[in-house]
Every structure is written in structure tokens, then in C-alpha cells.
């Protein structure tokens, strides 16, 4: 359900019976808790990502990948030179 122009949570909440208000309050509380939990998980993932990218193992892996990429480029150049000679 989408709010119409000019409607607000409070205006709808105040216009419904008390039992519906309790249900709406419960849903809103559940939503708030879930969003807080997701925000906490997001912060934890960001911290893990920062720890990983700053780790010696990650830096060594990056260096290895860069060296391999350079070797691959050299090999491709060599193959291209040999191909031109044929």
C-alpha cells in the first residue's frame, strides 16, 4: 500500500481503530528493528572489507596478480611479434 498525496503515517494511524493501531505499531517496530539490524550488519561487513583490503595477505595477492598480468602482457606481445614474422 502506498500513501496518497497529503497522507502520513500519523494521519492514517490516528484514523484507525485501536487494535489496528497496535498492529501498525508492531509492524513499525519490527521494521525499525530490522533496519537497525541491517545497518549494523552493513557496518560489520564494511569493517571486514577494510580489514581484508588492509591485510598483508590481500596486498601480497594484489602484487601477485599485478605481476601475473605483466607476464601475460609480455607473453601476448611475444606471441604477436612471432605471429607477424610468420
Residue at 3 is within a domain: no
Kindly state whether residues 33 and 12 are assigned to the same domain. yes
Reported pTM: 0.58
The pLDDT tens digits of the residues spanning 19-54 come to 999 999 999 999 999 999 999 999 999 999 999 999
pLDDT at 1 over 80: no
Kindly state whether residues 21 and 45 are assigned to the same domain. yes
Domain with 25, as residue range(s), is 8-54
pLDDT at 80 over 70: yes
Give the DSSP per-residue string, 6-55. Answer: T--HHHHHHTS-HHHHHHHHHHHHHHHHHHHHHHHHHHHHHHHHHHHHTS
Kindly state whether residues 70 and 86 are assigned to the same domain. yes
The grid coordinates of residue 24 equal: 501498525
Residue at 2 is within a domain: no
Amino acid at each position: 500500500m502506498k500513501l496518497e498525496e497529503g497522507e502520513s503515517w500519523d494521519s492514517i494511524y490516528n484514523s484507525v481503530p485501536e487494535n489496528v493501531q497496535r498492529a501498525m505499531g508492531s509492524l513499525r517496530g519490527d521494521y525499525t528493528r530490522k533496519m537497525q539490524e541491517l545497518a549494523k550488519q552493513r557496518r560489520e561487513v564494511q569493517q571486514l572489507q577494510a580489514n581484508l583490503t588492509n591485510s598483508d595477505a590481500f596486498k601480497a595477492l594484489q602484487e601477485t596478480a599485478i605481476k601475473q598480468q605483466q607476464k601475460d602482457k609480455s607473453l601476448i606481445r611475444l606471441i604477436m611479434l612471432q605471429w607477424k614474422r610468420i
